[in-house]
């Protein structure tokens, strides 16, 4: 599972990527370790977002796999500021001293791999107020995924993990201006030509 936080390299006049890779090899029945890994990963990413420079990237959608027709046909819902503020009130209290919430809300994060660790991490980043999340996974939900995936249920079996996760996160924050979801149903290979613009910050 890989997590990328896009930052602006102002001094160089170009965009750089701050990369953090997490490899896991957990044995059977090691649920405590799995929970510890997921919680630590999400907390570390949120902390780094809150203490880093505010992103200067515009909040636009990447050209990738879209959500299904039902969601595309829905009228965009806007959350009143007071509702969104209350949803994130605990986070705001924690990061009040560093003025971290504006940085989190303007952050752009890429999560590659949406299995037992990646799905939980993307889930918690969305709940924490991150403004843009690109979620990459080529795979579909299977019956064997249901014991560890953050949101998938029986009705999601056979559907792309990225789309399933995006649907769930949209229910958490229906306002597309406050949370931009960019699901990409594609395999990450590490080859720039094959991956295309997958790794590029939103333009």
28-63: per-residue pLDDT in tens?
456 555 665 666 666 666 666 666 654 433 333 444
Query: Dihedrals φ, ψ of 86, to 5°?
Result: -70, -35
**Going by DSSP bridges, is the β-strand pair 108-112/132-136 parallel, antiparallel, or unpaired?**
parallel
Average pLDDT taken over every residue of the chain: 77
Residue with tokens 């919680």: 39
- The two most distant CA atoms of the chain are separated, in Å, by 49
Query: Dihedrals φ, ψ of 84, to 5°?
Result: -60, -40
Q: Percent of the chain having pLDDT more than 70?
A: 63
What confidence score (pLDDT) does residue 33 get?
56
192-203: per-residue pLDDT in tens?
999 999 999 887
122 contacts 162 by C-beta, under 8 angstroms = no
Q: What is the pTM of this model?
A: 0.67
C-alpha neighbours within 13 Å on the C-beta side of residue 203: 5
What confidence score (pLDDT) does residue 107 get?
92
Residue with tokens 């560890």: 148
The DSSP line for 84-110 is HHHHTHHHHHHTGGGTHHHHHHT-EEE
124-135 b/e (C-beta count within 10 Å ≥ 16 → b)? bbbbbbbbbbbb
The DSSP line for 10-24 is GGGTEEEEEEEE---
């Amino acid at each position: 599972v890989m997590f990328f936080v896009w930052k602006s390299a102002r001094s160089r006049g170009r965009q750089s990527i701050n990369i953090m890779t997490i490899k896991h090899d957990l044995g059977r029945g090691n649920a405590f370790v799995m929970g510890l890994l997921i919680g630590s990963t999400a907390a570390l990413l949120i902390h780094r977002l809150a203490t880093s420079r505010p992103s200067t990237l515009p909040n636009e959608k990447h050209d990738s796999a879209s959500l299904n027709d039902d969601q595309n046909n829905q009228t965009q819902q806007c959350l009143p500021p007071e509702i969104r503020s209350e949803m994130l009130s605990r986070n705001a209290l924690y990061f009040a001293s560093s003025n971290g919430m504006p940085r989190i809300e303007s952050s752009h994060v890429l999560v590659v791999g949406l299995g037992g660790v990646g799905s939980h991490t993307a889930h918690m980043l969305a709940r924490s107020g991150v403004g843009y999340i690109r979620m990459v996974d080529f795979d579909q939900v299977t019956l064997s995924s249901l014991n560890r995936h953050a949101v998938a249920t029986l009705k999601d079996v056979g559907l792309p993990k990225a789309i399933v996760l995006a649907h769930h996160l949209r229910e958490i924050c229906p306002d597309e201006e406050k949370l931009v979801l960019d699901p990409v149903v594609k395999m990450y290979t590490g080859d720039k030509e094959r991956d295309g613009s997958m790794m590029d910050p939103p333009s």
